[in-house]
A and B are shown apart, each in its own frame.
Chain A
Amino acid sequence: MLKLKDISVTFNEGTPDEKKALNNIQLELQEGEFVTVIGSNGAGKSTLMNVISGALIPDVGDVYIAESQVVHLPEYKRSKYIGRVFQDPMAGTAPSMTIEENLAMAYSRNRKRKLKLGVTKERKQMFKDNLATLNLGLEGRLNAKVGLLSGGERQALSLLMSTFTEPNILLLDEHTAALDPSRAELITQLTEKIVRESGLTTLMVTHNMQQALDLGTRLVMMDKGQIIFDVNGEEKQKLTVEDLLHEFKRIRGEQFGDDRAVLS
């Protein structure tokens, strides 16, 4: 469904600040696969996300979505195929517009926008049904401005907005990292439920090793712009945080340099 071939990205090339953010990345996701990506700060996780979403064009390499080459498509064209949830709960919704208007905009993601009403009666019912699956009572607040919602509610809405049109690929960019633990837990559960029910091909970046182990069917560990560890199926189900740390040390010969990943 998603294929990254020979992707390399270098920032500030030719200066003392030169940084190889991605170094010859190869990654292929089968349809319905749920991959969690883990790595310390600066491992290249966010860069990888930006290359897939089109916010960043790689120096070399190809990106294929559903067999078609998309590396030259600008972000707004590529987002027809991609649903994305950002780390910042404020980033995924328009605060001064209502819940139903936000959903209507998301509904137009893979359709051509026309001069027709965005919120119609039928759509309202569909929005309500979808919101009800979140179990947050948002279905009764269709006309509330999104800016009035809490961070957790906004993130749940973002998650719904990026999934209910069934994109080819769902990108989750540390989407629980900015929430308090109980809200983060709620969003994690919702993510698990939505992905399981819709069978979306998903790539989730996280700082949290436990979360990376609990969710998904496959785990990828990144370091210094490279994929250093890739495990799926039963092998992944058996992994523990200790195993991951041990694995990192074995491959890199040094300690995993990020307390946050271990502690949270």
Chain B
Amino acid sequence: MFISMFGAVESGIIYAIMALGVYLTFRVLDFPDLTVEGSFVTGASVAAYSIVSGVPPLMATIFAAIAGFIAGCLTGVLHTKGKINSLLAGILMMTALYSINLRIMGQPTLSLLNETTVFEQLEALWASTGIDSLFNGLLSSIGLEQLPGTWSILLVMIIVTIGIKLLTDFFLKTEVGLALRAIGDNKKMIRSLSANTDSLIIAGVGISNAFVALAGGLIAQLGGFADVNMGLGLIVIGLASIIIGEALFGTKTIVRATLAVILGAVIYRIIVTLALRVDFLETGDMKLITAIIVIIALVTPKILQSRREKNRRIQKRNQLRAGGKSNA
């Protein structure tokens, strides 16, 4: 149980980078970008192919992000210069990327089992720090028997993801970032304030997909393979993370909203892990579970609110009936 939870948080914190990317398009730019399903795999296949070809793993991971950036920019160009509806532009790019990803890998699945990934390098560095034995010692002293093999991935990825979050927070407060946010809020206005909305949208969708592809490259290295279908349903996972996070932690400021997205991604992984432990559910049910989670997260707040309103009205009515007076 502990081990599977540990794994959920570990991959959740990587998927959080993807969710931050989806947040940038869906929430900040108000651009429902489906490129994500393709660019995640592009990141995975570029990273995997680079590593197999002998590129240092860290470099391969950076290549993945760059490939995603280019894919995102192309979607932005299709939308702004080609005047294609944003949803359709993303679908077109996603479809095109499927073939491109196959070309990159040369086969549907590329294994990294015999290769050194960025995480294995990390573990090797980590071994000398003695942090693992410290944490595992603590855990075994409270009676846990199965212990995680390494804490390096979790701890370092938390730092990396928080770093990306802080950079995003800062970026969205810069002069350029403010204009980017205004695009999702009031496009006509920011154009009348001399912002080039086309360039901003292209750059914004590019950055979003760079995040997504970076996550793809890391997930491929964590899992030990890249698969041409690994992006399937990813957009719903990204949305699930955002919606869960927003519902639980709020969106009052940018700093809070991005943190909510990260926590939402981790919580989503935990929910899925728990759901899969239920006996009659199979791995193939994942997508169904995801869709149900999103539906619940979308519907519950509304039901709760109408329930509250109703109670308030009943209370007022009773007050009137009882005392004949009310402060209404």
Contact = CB atoms under 8 A, between A and B. Distances in A.
A206 interface: no
Nearest to A94: B185
A106 B193 CA distance: 6
B195 A76 contact: yes
Contacts of A119: 173
Contacts of A109: 193-194
A121 interface: no
- Mostly helix, strand, loop or mixed at chain A's interface? loop
A10 interface: no
B173 to A, nearest CB: 6
A242 B110 CA distance: 84
B196 interface: yes
A82 B192 CA distance: 8
A91 interface: yes
Nearest to A104: B178
A77 B177 contact: no
A53 interface: yes
Interface string A83-118: 010100011111111000100111011100111111
Given A93-B186, A96-B185, A97-B182, A117 B193 contact: no
B29 to A, nearest CB: 13
Contacts of A93: 186, 189
Nearest to B198: A76
Contacts of B195: 76, 105, 108, 113
Nearest to B177: A118
A80 interface: yes
Interface string B172-196: 0111111101100110111111111
B192 A105 contact: no
Contacts of B179: 105, 108, 113
Interface residues of A, number: 33
Contact of B189 (A92, A101, A115, A118): A92
A90 B186 CA distance: 9
B185 A113 contact: no
Nearest to B175: A113
Given A94-B185, A95-B185, A115 B176 contact: yes
A24 B250 CA distance: 56
B190 A105 contact: yes
Contacts of A104: 175, 178
Contacts of A130: none
A79 interface: yes
B171 interface: yes
A221 to B, nearest CB: 26
Contacts of A75: 191-192
A147 B228 CA distance: 44
Contacts of A82: 192
A207 B24 CA distance: 42
A94 B175 contact: no
A119 B178 CA distance: 10
Contacts of B175: 104-105, 108, 113-118
Nearest to A75: B191
A86 B175 CA distance: 23
Interface string A61-88: 0000000000000011101101010100
B181 A97 contact: yes
Contacts of B178: 97, 101, 104-105, 108, 118
Most A-side CB within 10 Å, residue of B170, B177, B193: B193
Nearest to A95: B185
Contact of B186 (A53, A94, A106, A117): A94
Most B-side CB within 10 Å, residue of A84, A97, A119: A97
A165 B185 CA distance: 22
Most B-side CB within 10 Å, residue of A77, A94, A162: A94
Contacts of A91: 186, 188-189
Interface of B: 170-171, 173-179, 181-182, 185-186, 188-197
19 contacts: A75-B192, A76-B196, A79-B192, A86-B192, A90-B186, A91-B189, A93-B189, A94-B182, A94-B190, A97-B181, A97-B182, A101-B178, A105-B182, A108-B194, A109-B193, A110-B194, A115-B174, A115-B176, A118-B175
Interface of A: 53, 75-77, 79-80, 82, 84, 86, 90-97, 101, 104-106, 108-110, 113-119, 161-162
Given A75-B192, A79-B193, A109-B194, 10 more contacts: A77-B194, A77-B196, A84-B192, A105-B195, A108-B195, A113-B176, A117-B170, A117-B173, A117-B175, A118-B178
